[in-house]
Chain A
Amino acid sequence: MLLTHETRWQLRMLLRDRTAAFFTLIFPIVLLILLARQVGKDHSDILSMGITVAVVMASFPALAISLAAAVENGVLHRLRTTPLPLRIHLAGRMAASGVLTIVSVVMVIIAAHLMGFGITQSNLLGLMLPLALGWLVASAWGLFVGAYTRKVSSASFLTQILLFPLYILESFLIAGGLPGWLEALALWSPLHQLVATASASLGGNLLAAWTAVVYLTALALVGFLLAAGKLRTAR
């Protein structure tokens, strides 16, 4: 009951932040359109990239920046004086970002459909696991960055310097325009592993991406452990 209440209010606050709303709901579609303009590229790769960006943007920066704001403004400080358990508050933040993730992914899929990408119902069902995994990884690291930076400006800076190189790397990787050493590095990026998982799911063969699933699960666990350590002392 409290979790539903907290989720509803956190979602309301996320949607009132116009910058966050733009980067969560519009940016993935813009990226999808730009990638689709590259002639000869595989639709499945491009759609996987669009979906991955939608998942990451709705969780990682949204959680990192809003949590840093909560620490900076003293919201967490105040919440600790109320009967609301902090874990319910944080779960509400994560659930709100989960709702935004679903909306953003649906918008990307609709945009891809309108652009003539071949999408079947069975493909979409297979996307559930990569979506959940992506949301968990992005949420865990979003919570960690928010608790670690404790300031909106630092959280915003950190999310940008982490995300944009990853996006550029992945875009050039899909386009096949990276030198060998950089390609080897890009293959280990969480974004690439998410794209690979989403791509395997869209192709109906998630088992092919089992190493990526293991890698991402481990990454989510590490992120949550680090975030929990930081949040225990965050005021």
Chain B
Amino acid sequence: MDIAPNNQGESLAISVIGVTKYYGSLTALHHLEFHVNQGEFVALLGPNGAGKTTLLMTLGGYVAPDEGRIRVLGKPPHELGAAEKNRWGFVFQDLAGLYQELTVREHLELYRAYYEQPRDVEDLLKTLDLVRFAQRKAEDLSGGERKRLELALAFLGNPELIFLDEPTTGLDPQARRVMWDFLTSMKSDGVTFLMTTHYLNEVEALAERLLILNRGRLVFSGSPSGLKEEMRAADEAIDTLESAYLKLLEEPNAAHT
């Protein structure tokens, strides 16, 4: 078994201990410490520039931390081989990573061969409402259609761990609903998620736990209801996740601790 158990004996999909990343004089990640258990849906929140994408890139092995220790599926990210890459999937924020000349179906057929136990292409097209666009080239897809194709590619290998960097940004409500339904069904299948987003209703609908970053520091780790309760103790008017989140970011220690 290559996934280390935590103190409670649960299997860890991600383990981050004392991770710091500098970009020149800027500290993008400041001594981060958290774990993600197998089967958990964790939302990573924070204002723009908080370090969310840097953290995902570090977990994906694209960026090396300057200090600290990371384990993803039991190994340091830069040491992950084909066996581990069969077990994870990624949706990036800016880089679609699509071949402009290929259609939606062709993308899935091309990438399918890379995995040991891929999902059925037709099934994935249907589930993500992509059948109508299956013959359309990537260069002719709208932003929402492209995002759904990216999600299909991330799930093509039947992963047990998924990193999603703002997967629903720019999607219309209908497309967002299709994606939520899909993520919910994957969650019930035991897939582990680490997702960044700016939509708090999405967090409430999907996530069991929140990690909130501000200026590279982890300022909250707990459940959405836990955040509301904690903020309500300071301000009784707090009644939504959004107001609790904004209140947390207003606190002086949220920015400076």
Q: Is B171 part of the contact surface with A, judged by Cβ < 8 Å?
A: no
Q: A75–B114 contact, CB under 8 A? A: no
Q: B85–A81 contact, CB under 8 A? A: yes
| Residues of chain A at the chain B interface (Cβ within 8 Å) | 2, 5, 9, 12-13, 16-17, 69-70, 73-85, 235
Known: A9-B110, A83-B86. A78 touches B92 (CB 8 A): yes
Interchain Cβ contacts under 8 Å between A and B, 26 examples: A2-B113, A5-B110, A9-B102, A12-B101, A16-B101, A70-B99, A73-B95, A73-B97, A73-B98, A74-B92, A74-B94, A74-B96, A75-B97, A75-B98, A76-B97, A77-B62, A77-B92, A78-B90, A78-B92, A78-B98, A81-B85, A81-B90, A82-B85, A83-B85, A83-B114, A84-B114
Q: A78–B95 contact, CB under 8 A? A: yes
Number of residue pairs across A and B with beta carbons under 8 Å? 66
Closest residue on chain A to residue B84 by CB atoms? A83
Closest residue on chain A to residue B86 by CB atoms? A83
Inside 8 A of B51's CB, which chain A residues have their CB? none
- Across the interface, B95 reaches (CB within 8 A) one of A2, A13, A77, A84, namely A77
A83 to B88, CA, bound (A): 10
For chain B, give the interface size range: 20 to 34
Closest residue on chain A to residue B88 by CB atoms? A81
A83 to B84, CA, bound (A): 8
Closest Cβ–Cβ distance, residue A208 to chain B (whole Å):
43
Q: Is B89 part of the contact surface with A, judged by Cβ < 8 Å?
A: yes
A85 to B114, CA, bound (A): 9
Q: A73–B96 contact, CB under 8 A? A: yes
A9 to B107, CA, bound (A): 10
Counting chain B CB atoms within 10 Å of each CB, the highest count among A16, A70, A74, A83 belongs to A83
